[in-house]
């Protein structure tokens, strides 16, 4: 007789403590991002500023016009990229997959730059273009990998090749249309400067809707993660579901790229850490990735602003310095296409 897993009070208590810690880290990261900078804003003044009690002051202008949109962008992009990475890894059964590695980010970036070149005033098109580009990237990589054997290393190599092709396309567009993306260097590396709530609004709604749909499909994602044969035996339309999940992952990553640029490694680092802490159950995994990604990107952005003040690094550099060694470590653990603990 099949034995079903049991969940003890102790396990639930551990999950609760982990989620509480993640929530505290995310709140702490957001508060630190708002308070620290060339002009320090006391944490006690932040609620008063948000309630409009200190309107007209220098500190209120700094918080409301500069730091609050930037912090919101960090939280949104971190959440979207981390959840996108978790979904891609589960659907493709590949722990090395991430939005920046398999062509999702670069595909979104290429379409964003094209829209900037051909329709610079149609800001509402940017999230749609980013989604189409991200989905195109992941589908091209998946097609190449399936035609050549679908091993985990093949998927990664195909992703690197496709990412380079899309990156070359971005460079070509910017060469012919130098004003296609303002602050192109920050976009290419990944940065969150000069954000506004108007720019964040379209991406916010895309991320909100995609997260809602994903959380309503966590049971199907759990079954799909068991393998295609198992999912088919349970009556799931595997190809259709895989496409739906990849489209949702592309929507999340594309929405993030539309305002944060080609940020890397959030979708690789956070899902690995959360799987070790939370396990493979999709609903708590996605929620923990959302919190962990938001906290990680916000802390990295704060470090990029503060480490070499008054000079500011693009946050993508900080992420690459942390994510590059992490990816190499994963590759060193790769043997025969399988990851070993």
Question: 262-310 pLDDT, tens per residue?
Answer: 888 898 889 988 998 888 899 999 999 999 999 999 999 999 998 887 8
Report how far apart, in Å, the C-alpha atoms of 332 and of each of 89, 149, 167, 211, 338 are: 18, 21, 26, 33, 11
Q: Compute the C-alpha angle 227/228/233, nearest 5°.
A: 105
Asked if residues 186 and 194 have their Cβ atoms less than 8 Å apart, the reply is no
- State the alpha helices, DSSP H only, in 119-195: 125-147, 152-176, 184-189
Tokens of 190: 């990944």
User: Nearest-CA neighbor of 85 among 337, 340, 330?
Assistant: 330
Provide mean pLDDT across the span 164-185.
Answer: 80
Mean pLDDT of 174-197: 77
- Mean pLDDT for 157-186 is 80
Among all chains, which residue has been given the structure tokens 């208590």? 13
Q: Can you tell me the distance from the alpha carbon of 152 to that of 327, in angstroms, rounded to the nearest whole number?
A: 14
- Per-residue confidence (pLDDT) for residue 338, from 0 to 100: 47
Highest mean pLDDT pick, 49-58, 186-195, 298-307: 298-307
Longest dimension (CA), the chain: 70
The rounded radius of gyration (Å) of the Cα atoms in the chain is 20
Q: How many helices (H) and strands (E) does the chain have?
A: 15, 2
Closest of 321, 273, 319 to residue 300, by C-alpha: 319
Whether 20 has a pLDDT exceeding 60, the answer reads yes
Q: What is the pLDDT of residue 183?
A: 59
3-state secondary structure of 26: helix
Phi, psi of 339 (to 5 degrees): -90, 130
Q: pLDDT confidence of 63, banded at 50, 70, 90?
A: very high
Residues 14, 23, 84, 315: is their CA dihedral positive or negative?
negative
Give the residue-averaged pLDDT of 90-107: 82
Under DSSP, the state recorded for 63 is I
Q: Is the pLDDT of residue 142 over 50?
A: yes
Domains of the chain: 23-30+41-336 (1.10.3470.10)
Task: Provide the pLDDT for residue 32.
Answer: 95
- Is 126 or 91 the better-scoring residue by pLDDT? 91
pLDDT score for 184: 62
User: How high does pLDDT run on average in the chain?
Assistant: 84
First to last CA, the chain: 30
In the predicted model, is pLDDT for residue 336 greater than 80?
A: no
Q: Report the Cα 133 to chain-centroid distance in Å.
A: 15
Asked if the model's pLDDT at residue 98 lies above 90, the reply is no
The answer to whether 109 and 262 are in contact (CB under 8 A) is yes
Over residues 121-133, the pLDDT tens digits come to 776 777 788 888 8
What pLDDT does residue 120 have?
73
Is-contact 58 39, C-beta < 8 A?
A: yes
pTM summary value: 0.86
> In the prediction, which pLDDT does 271 show?
92
pLDDT for residue 339: 43
Beta bridge partners of 18: none
Closest CA to 267 of 85, 47, 53: 85
- Judged by average pLDDT, the poorest of 100-109, 181-190, 242-251, 330-339 is 330-339
In 3D space, the residue among 89, 97, 112 whose CA is nearest the CA of residue 159 turns out to be 97
């Amino acid at each position: 007789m099949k034995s079903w897993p049991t969940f003890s009070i102790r396990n639930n208590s551990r999950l609760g403590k982990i989620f509480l810690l993640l929530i505290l880290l995310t709140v702490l990261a957001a508060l630190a991002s708002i308070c620290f900078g060339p002009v320090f804003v006391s944490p006690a003044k932040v609620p008063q500023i948000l309630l409009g009690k200190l309107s007209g002051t220098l500190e209120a202008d700094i918080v409301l016009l500069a730091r609050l949109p930037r912090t919101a962008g960090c939280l949104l992009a971190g959440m979207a990229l981390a959840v996108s990475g978790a979904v891609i890894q589960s659907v493709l059964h590949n722990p090395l997959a991430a939005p920046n590695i398999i062509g999702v980010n670069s595909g979104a970036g290429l379409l964003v730059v094209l829209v900037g070149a051909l329709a610079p005033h149609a800001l509402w098109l940017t999230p749609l273009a980013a989604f189409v580009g991200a989905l195109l990237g992941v589908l091209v990589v998946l097609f190449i990998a399936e035609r050549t054997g679908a091993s985990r290393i093949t998927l990664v190599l195909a992703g690197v090749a496709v990412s380079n092709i899309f990156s070359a396309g971005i460079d070509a567009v910017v060469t012919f249309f130098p004003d296609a993306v303002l602050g192109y260097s920050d976009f290419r590396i990944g940065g969150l400067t000069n954000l506004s709530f108007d720019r964040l609004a379209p991406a916010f709604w895309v991320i909100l809707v995609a997260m809602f749909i994903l959380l309503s499909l966590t049971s199907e994602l759990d079954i799909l993660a068991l393998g295609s044969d198992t999912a088919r035996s349970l009556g799931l339309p595997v190809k259709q579901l895989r496409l739906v999940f990849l489209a949702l992952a592309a929507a999340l990553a594309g929405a993030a790229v539309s305002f944060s640029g080609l940020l890397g490694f959030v979708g690789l680092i956070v899902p690995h850490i959360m799987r070790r802490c939370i396990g493979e159950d999709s609903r708590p995994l996605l929620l923990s990735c959302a919190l962990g990604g938001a906290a990680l990107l916000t802390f990295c952005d704060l470090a990029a602003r503060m480490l070499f003040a008054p000079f500011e690094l693009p946050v993508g550099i900080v992420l690459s310095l942390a994510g590059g060694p992490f990816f190499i470590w994963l590759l060193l653990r790769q043997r025969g296409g399988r990851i070993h603990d």
